[in-house]
Amino acid sequence: MFNEGTERPFTSELLTEKRKGFYHCANCGNKLFSSEAKFDSGTGWPSFSEALPGAFKTKVDYSFGMKRIEYHCAKCGVHHGHVFDDGPSSTGKRFCNNGLCLLFIPET
Ligand SMILES: [Zn+2]
């Protein structure tokens, strides 16, 4: 989880998760996303239109010759994914998250 590699697409069981609840950092438990913000981007990674306030810190990532915005947990610093500006929702954001870094806790 601490290297910045990404799991293979379409391997996360969270892709088919449709219940209401919150997605937490698998490392420290920080609450990151609401299930309301989740959408199917077709990329094979869990995708969200917005993060909860203060959940993440971002930095510009120039690896692979591309300029991308990477984000990591504001609490423990674990890398979660990249955020793009081509989201389908009103925010225009697409948080492309590594499913292995997320822990889903359904609403009871
Ligand atoms: Zn964390």
Q: What is the mean pLDDT of residues 63-72?
A: 93
Q: pLDDT digits over 3-18, tens only? A: 455 667 787 889 889 9
Task: List the catalytic residue out of 25, 73, 96, 101.
Answer: 96
Indicate whether 2 belongs to any domain: no
Say what the pLDDT of residue 5 is: 56
Q: pLDDT digits over 41-67, tens only? A: 888 899 999 999 999 999 999 988 989
Indicate whether 8 belongs to any domain: no
Indicate whether 14 belongs to any domain: no
How many structural domains are present in the chain?
A: 1
Q: How far is the CA of 107 from the centre of ligand 1 (A)?
A: 20
Confidence (pTM): 0.88
Indicate whether 1 belongs to any domain: no
Q: How far is the CA of 73 from the centre of ligand 1 (A)?
A: 5
Domain of 68, in residue numbers: 19-103
CATH of the domain at 98: 2.170.150.20
Say what the pLDDT of residue 2 is: 46
Indicate whether 11 belongs to any domain: no
Indicate whether 80 belongs to any domain: yes
Q: What angle do CA 106, 10, 84 make, to 5 degrees?
A: 80
CB atoms within 10 A of CB 57: 12
Instruction: Check pLDDT > 70 for residue 34.
Output: yes
Say what the pLDDT of residue 6 is: 62
Indicate whether 13 belongs to any domain: no
Known active-site residue 73 = no
Q: pLDDT digits over 74-103, tens only? A: 999 999 999 999 998 889 999 999 999 999
Q: How far is the CA of 29 from the centre of ligand 1 (A)?
A: 6
